């Protein structure tokens, strides 16, 4: 099995995040990829290959244009305020507040980010595009005949929705790859998400569609992030009804029960 990876993920290296009401050292950092890559190389799965570059249209197939524009300019626009550091969201519109009423970059962060775990550095967007390219390159390998491919994507993607970032995610790599496969001619595509946290962004992107199945095994949102999505009764809507499957598991679930859910 080929491994698709890139050193461009080092371009996204925030030093902190805003989580559980505190400023904490960044959890999602370059070392995570290096640990995984070393393990994969030790397993001698196959060669590591670099991704090819893809156009912006691949991201626009699942993400809104204004959201991509925000990701491009967010850091530079924040710096224009004379502020230092890497910005993230700190205020969010609720109730009758108008999310589109302010041109301030501070307001834009609240509009396009649902939590404070997505600080944007000067080179974050470059890393985000490289991560997308990795997913697409792996999808292309499989489409052209490889039985499987391992896409070592960072930043990750499954919390990113059509027009928002969150949970360390900016572009939804899996959704972009799934859409590329559909556009290339694949009749049906399935995304199986086994991350501990629910992939709320992927779910939202395909919630009303029947051509891409989304299934997720994760910690129950009654006690675990992202809290507001991932319940068992979220089964899709419209044409997508019945094509979204959530299997939330209680705290302390053993591997035996988890593996039963997987099967």
pLDDT 10s digits, 145-168: 999 999 999 999 999 999 999 999
Residue 215 has pLDDT above 90, yes or no: yes
Confidence of residue 132 (pLDDT cuts 50, 70, 90): very high
Note whether 220 and 246 are same-domain residues.
yes
Note whether 156 and 236 are same-domain residues.
no
Of 135, 164, 186, the domain-final residue? 186
Confidence of residue 236 (pLDDT cuts 50, 70, 90): very high
Of 139, 155, 186, the domain-final residue? 186
The pLDDT of residue 20 is 85
Instruction: Tell me if 97 sits within 8 A of 136, measured CB to CB.
Output: no
Residue 54 has pLDDT above 80, yes or no: yes
DSSP letters for 149-184? EEE--SS--TT-BTTBBBTTBSS-HHHHHHHHHHHH
Number of domains the chain is built from: 2
Confidence of residue 174 (pLDDT cuts 50, 70, 90): very high
Note whether 215 and 171 are same-domain residues.
no
Rg (CA), the chain: 18
Note whether 149 and 236 are same-domain residues.
no
Note whether 222 and 95 are same-domain residues.
no
Q: Which domain holds residue 72?
A: 2-186
Instruction: Tell me if 217 sits within 8 A of 227, measured CB to CB.
Output: no
Query: How far is residue 108's CA from residue 105's CA, in Å, rounded to a whole number?
Result: 5
Q: Which long-range contacts (CB under 8 A, 24 or more apart) does 55-59 make?
A: 58/132, 58/136, 58/176, 58/179, 58/180, 59/129, 59/132, 59/171, 59/176
Query: How far is residue 161's CA from residue 202's CA, in Å, rounded to a whole number?
Result: 6
**Looking at residue 18, which CATH number applies to its domain?**
3.40.800.20
- Phi, psi for 252 (deg, rounded to 5): 85, 10
Of 136, 151, 186, the domain-final residue? 186
Note whether 161 and 216 are same-domain residues.
no
The pLDDT of residue 216 is 99
25-29, 79-83, 217-221: least confidently modelled range: 79-83
Note whether 103 and 228 are same-domain residues.
no
Query: How far is residue 222's CA from residue 245's CA, in Å, rounded to a whole number?
Result: 17
Residue 239 has pLDDT above 90, yes or no: yes
Note whether 181 and 209 are same-domain residues.
no
3-class secondary structure, 17: strand
DSSP state of 135: H
3-class secondary structure, 193: strand
- For residue 118, give both structure tokens: 């997505």
What is the signed CA dihedral for 4, 6, 9, 10, rounded to 10 degrees?
150
Query: How far is residue 22's CA from residue 108's CA, in Å, rounded to a whole number?
Result: 21
DSSP state of 241: T
Which residue's structure tokens are 């319940």?
Answer: 231
Note whether 54 and 70 are same-domain residues.
yes
Query: How far is residue 226's CA from residue 61's CA, in Å, rounded to a whole number?
Result: 24
What are the Cα distances from residue 9, in Å, to 32, 48, 125?
10, 15, 10
Note whether 150 and 244 are same-domain residues.
no
Note whether 258 and 132 are same-domain residues.
no
Active site residues: 159
Residue 44 has pLDDT above 80, yes or no: no
Note whether 214 and 248 are same-domain residues.
yes
Query: How far is residue 212's CA from residue 202's CA, in Å, rounded to a whole number?
Result: 10
Residue 84 has pLDDT above 90, yes or no: no
């Amino acid at each position: 099995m080929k491994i698709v990876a890139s050193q461009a993920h080092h371009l996204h290296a925030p030093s902190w995040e805003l989580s559980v009401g505190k400023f904490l050292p960044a959890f999602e950092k370059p070392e995570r990829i290096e640990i995984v890559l070393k393990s994969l190389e030790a397993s001698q799965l196959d060669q590591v290959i670099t991704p090819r570059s893809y156009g912006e249209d691949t991201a626009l197939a699942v993400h809104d244009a204004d959201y991509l524009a925000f990701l491009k300019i967010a850091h530079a626009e924040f710096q224009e305020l004379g502020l230092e550091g890497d910005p993230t969201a700190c205020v969010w519109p609720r109730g009758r507040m108008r999310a589109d009423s302010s041109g301030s970059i501070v307001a834009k962060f609240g509009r396009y980010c649902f939590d404070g775990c997505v600080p944007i550095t000067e080179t974050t967007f470059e890393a985000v595009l490289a991560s997308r390219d990795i997913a697409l390159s792996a999808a292309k390998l499989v489409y052209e005949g490889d039985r499987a491919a391992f896409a070592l994507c960072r930043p990750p993607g499954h919390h990113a929705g059509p027009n928002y970032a969150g949970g360390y995610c900016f572009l939804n790599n899996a959704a972009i790859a799934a859409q590329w496969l559909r556009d290339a001619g694949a009749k049906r595509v399935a995304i199986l998400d086994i991350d501990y946290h629910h992939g709320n962004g992927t779910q939202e992107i395909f919630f009303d569609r029947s051509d891409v199945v989304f299934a997720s095994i994760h910690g129950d949102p009654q006690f675990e992030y992202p809290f507001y999505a991932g319940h068992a009764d979220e089964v899709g809507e419209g044409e997508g009804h019945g094509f979204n499957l959530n299997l939330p598991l209680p705290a302390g679930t053993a591997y035996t029960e988890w593996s039963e859910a997987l099967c």
